[in-house]
């Protein structure tokens, strides 16, 4: 009887082993088939897919190649992540990348120039009000910014208590504690490629990079050398990889140093060869490339011809969205090859002047489509607030007149004229 039980157990164990052998064999066969269809895949990557998403995912990909129905979007449909995200995850290639665990529609908010300089208009008034961020931004504005998945601004000041001001008309420097305002605003990334980030010399410039890292506020557009200055920062959110690059062509009399192979500064693009190469390289690794660029004519709604030409060049190289700053006023927008160029978003938190400004809200849906909305605001009496009613209509009408081929409807939705 004992021997009979042992025999039965051995038979059961062997039967239990058989499916595993068949499963492994099936996996190997499917992986080899997929590689034969497309040698851009390797075994390790497809094995990662098998281990994390199962044999059915591989079977679906294999069948799509066999039936000639494969599309890039299949990976996101099957796994919740794009192919580029999956490759980064499989290789643990997450340098300069943050992951936001959210599915569904993703909202990005962009604003223009911000100066939190202690030696300029806003901060003395901010201190006197003693209301925190609500002293300089209305609650409605803060709610929009803090509920965005990614919020981006142009940081137009240096962050330090050291340094000597350069010989220029305006120099901006803020105490590092002012970065708490960014936290209250929900800032997720700042652009440093502008003409004020070096206002107090090398010491303050280095402090700026140091303190942003200490406060865990990612930045792009400046660094200790050109390799750092041109480096992107990426967010993986909604299963897509969104990468940000920043560059500047904003000084006619160049004072702010451009970074080189062995010296610090900003990523300059008067000669835009390197910027175009960087965009192209980044697009190969990212689902979306956002270019934050400091350019254009100051204190004017008029668009310089050079930014209209180069903006299109950057999209041709792979940029999916271009956000401009530097003009201190709102400038128009343009849609080129289904990609938005927001030429200048004006001042958002800057000085005592009364100025129209706004928030560019970009929605990325789960199918990977982008839509755009402009939310009119006004900087007035040291505070930026939402506009409603006739004032909102006025700003949207102005944006229609400034823009090239876009229509802003009554809600601020941005539509290409030919599709309206």
- Domain containing 369 — which CATH number? 3.60.21.10
Amino acid 418: pLDDT: 79
Radius of gyration (C-alpha) of the chain in whole angstroms: 26
Confidence (pTM): 0.93
Give alpha helix (H) positions in 54-138. 55-66, 73-79, 83-91, 122-129
- What's 263's DSSP letter? B
Whether the Cβ atoms of residue 100 and residue 236 lie closer than 8 Å to each other: yes
Residues 18-30: pLDDT tens digits? 444 444 459 999 9
Q: Is residue 378 part of a domain?
A: yes
CB 190, CB 142: distance < 8 Å: no
Return the pLDDT at 164.
96
Contact 173, 201 (CB under 8 A): no
Asked, for residue 96, whether it belongs to a domain, the answer is no
**Tokens in use for 67?**
């039936």
**CB 349, CB 375: distance < 8 Å:** no
Q: CA–CA separation, 18 vs 23, rounded Å?
A: 9
334 by DSSP, 3-state: which?
strand
In percent, the amount of the chain with pLDDT more than 90 equals 90
Q: How far apart are CA 321 and CA 325, in angstroms?
A: 14
Number of folded domains that form the chain = 2
Return d(Cα 147, Cα 149) in angstroms, integer: 6
Owning domain of residue 190: 101-419
Instruction: Indicate if the pLDDT at residue 131 is higher than 60.
Output: yes
Distance of CA 298 to the CA centre of its chain: 24
Do residues 85 and 148 both lie within one domain?
A: no
Q: How confident is the model at residue 106 (pLDDT cuts 50, 70, 90)?
A: very high
**Residues 161 and 47 both lie in one domain:** no
Instruction: Give the angle 172-175-178 at the CA atoms, nearest 5°.
Output: 100
Those residues with Cβ within 8 angstroms of residue 317's Cβ, 6 or more apart along the chain or in another chain: 276, 279, 280, 283
- Examine the domain organization and report whether 15 and 155 are in the same domain: no
Asked whether residue 21 falls in the same domain as residue 143, the answer is no
Residue 283 belongs to a domain: yes
Could you tell me the two tokens for 84? 């580029």
Number of H-type helices and E-type strands within the chain: 13, 21
Q: Is the pLDDT of residue 1 over 60?
A: no
For residues 54 and 174, membership in a common domain is answered with no
- Does 79 share its domain with 113? no
Mean pLDDT of 335-361: 97
120 confidence band (pLDDT: 50, 70, 90):
confident
Q: Does the pLDDT at position 2 exceed 70? A: no
- Shared domain for 64 and 188, answered yes or no, is no
Do 341 and 209 fall into the same domain? yes
Task: Among 61, 91, 121, identify where a domain stops.
Answer: 91
What is residue 254's predicted lDDT score, i.e. its pLDDT?
84
Do 209 and 239 touch, CB atoms closer than 8 A? Answer: no
| 391 vs 251, more confident | 391
Task: Say yes or no: 188 and 264 in one domain.
Answer: yes
Query: Does the pLDDT of residue 419 top 70, yes or no?
Result: no
Same domain, 76 and 163: no
């Amino acid at each position: 009887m004992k021997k009979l039980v042992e025999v039965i157990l051995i038979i059961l164990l062997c039967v239990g082993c058989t499916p595993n052998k068949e499963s492994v064999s099936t996996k190997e066969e499917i992986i080899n088939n997929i590689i034969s269809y497309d040698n851009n895949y390797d075994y390790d990557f497809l094995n990662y897919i098998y281990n994390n998403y199962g044999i059915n995912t591989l079977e679906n990909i294999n069948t799509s190649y066999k039936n000639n129905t494969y599309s890039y979007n299949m990976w996101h449909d099957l796994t919740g992540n794009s192919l580029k995200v999956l490759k980064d995850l499989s290789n643990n290639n997450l340098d300069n990348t943050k992951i936001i665990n959210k599915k569904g529609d993703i909202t990005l908010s962009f604003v223009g120039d911000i100066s939190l300089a202690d030696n300029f208009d806003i901060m003395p008034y901010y201190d006197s009000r003693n209301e925190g961020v609500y002293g300089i931004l209305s609650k409605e504005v803060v709610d929009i910014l803090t509920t965005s998945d990614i919020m981006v601004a142009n940081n137009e000041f240096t962050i330090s208590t050291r340094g000597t001001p350069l010989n220029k008309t305006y120099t901006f420097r803020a105490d590092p504690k002012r970065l708490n305002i960014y936290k209250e605003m929900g800032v997720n990334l700042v652009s440093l490629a502008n003409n004020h980030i070096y206002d107090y010399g090398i010491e303050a410039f280095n402090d700026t990079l140091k303190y942003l890292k200490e406060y865990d506020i990612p930045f792009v557009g400046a660094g200790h050398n050109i390799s750092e200055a041109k480096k992107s920062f990426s967010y993986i959110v909604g299963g897509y990889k969104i990468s940000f690059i920043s560059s500047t062509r904003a000084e006619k009399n160049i004072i702010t140093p451009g970074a080189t192979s062995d010296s610090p500064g900003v990523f300059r693009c008067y000669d835009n060869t390197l910027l175009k190469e960087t965009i192209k390289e980044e697009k190969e690794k990212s689902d979306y490339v956002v270019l934050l660029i400091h350019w254009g004519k100051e204190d004017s709604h008029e668009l310089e011809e050079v930014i209209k030409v180069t903006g299109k060049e950057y999209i041709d190289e792979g940029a999916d969205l271009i956000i401009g700053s530097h003009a201190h006023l709102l400038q128009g927008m343009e849609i080129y090859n289904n990609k938005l160029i927001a030429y200048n978003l004006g001042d958002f938190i800057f000085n005592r002047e009364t100025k129209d400004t706004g928030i560019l809200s970009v929605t990325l849906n789960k199918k990977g489509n982008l839509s755009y909305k402009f939310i009119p605001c006004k900087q007035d009496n040291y505070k930026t607030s939402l506009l409603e009613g006739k004032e909102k209509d006025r700003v949207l009408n102005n944006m229609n007149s400034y823009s090239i081929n876009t229509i802003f409807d009554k809600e601020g939705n941005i539509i290409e004229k030919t599709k309206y």
